[in-house]
Amino acid sequence: MLEVNGLAVAYGAIEAVKDVGFTVQEGQIVCLVGANGAGKSTVLKAVSGLLRPHRGEIRLRGRPIHHLPAHAVLAAGVAHCPEGRRLFAGMTVEENLRLGGHLRRDRHVAKDMARVYDLFPVLGERRTQRAGLFSGGEQQMLAIGRAMMARPALLMFDEPTMGLSPIMIRRILDTIALLRNQGTTILMVEQNALAALMLADHGYVIDLGRTTMSGPGTDLLADPRVRAAYLG
């Protein structure tokens, strides 16, 4: 579904991503793991059109998308659930969800909103309350729901468990697995390498802006180099 080849992205004169390549097959959960500052979040921003690569290519189902603006990437089927959630705090749950589906012109928006409320009942119960009043875990649920409203073929998560309690971490990871089982392909950046690789069909290690290792999640978990560097 997604192919990234020779990707390089810079912030001004600083090249944050130097040579990253990976593939996401349809129906998979693929995780990018690595140390803070390795370039993982920058890769997701490039895929979603928030940053323009200066080298390399990004293809979605064979079609180049690295030249497209963010709204066109979203329309092509890629949704981004960003680090820090980035909700509209002064808007209600329902308003945030409707914004997630703002590009859609089909008749199933209400049906998909009901699906979000079924998945996260607390959002349905508090649909008229402002998002800024919610706990971190509830805000993460809303951020996931907002991304779901775009009906993406590929859903990207950037640090979805950051700052959450152990119970909520388990809830969010179970939800990501459920979305994959329901047909959504997942690309995820996660600092918790153990949890990420246990969940992933395939993983890639990003180090200093380069892809250095790859393999099935269970194989990377067993690799002594990965264990030493990222699992303690």
Give pLDDT, residue 29. 97
Q: First and final CA of the chain: distance in angstroms?
A: 33
What are the angstrom distances between the C-alpha of 16 and each of 36, 37, 151, 169, 205? 12, 8, 30, 28, 15
3-state secondary structure at position 65:
coil
- Provide the CATH number for the domain around residue 176: 3.40.50.300
Give pLDDT, residue 36. 86
**190: Cβ contacts below 8 Å, ≥ 6 apart:** 31, 33, 157, 159, 160, 161, 196
Give pLDDT, residue 162. 87
- Sign of torsion over alpha carbons 127, 131, 134, 136: positive
Which among 73, 72, 97, 75 is positioned nearest to 87, based on CA atoms? 97
Overall pTM > 0.85: yes
Q: Which residues of the chain have pLDDT under 70?
A: 232
Q: Are 49 and 72 in contact (CB under 8 A)?
A: yes
Helix axes 93-100, 136-148, angle to 10 degrees: 30
Could you list the residue range(s) of the whole structural domain that residue 138 is in?
2-230
Total domains in the fold of the chain: 1
Which among 71, 27, 10, 69 is positioned nearest to 180, based on CA atoms? 27
Element (H, E) at 21: strand 14-24
d(CA 187, CA 32) in angstroms, rounded, equals: 8
Q: Report the DSSP beta bridge partners of residue 157.
A: 81, 188
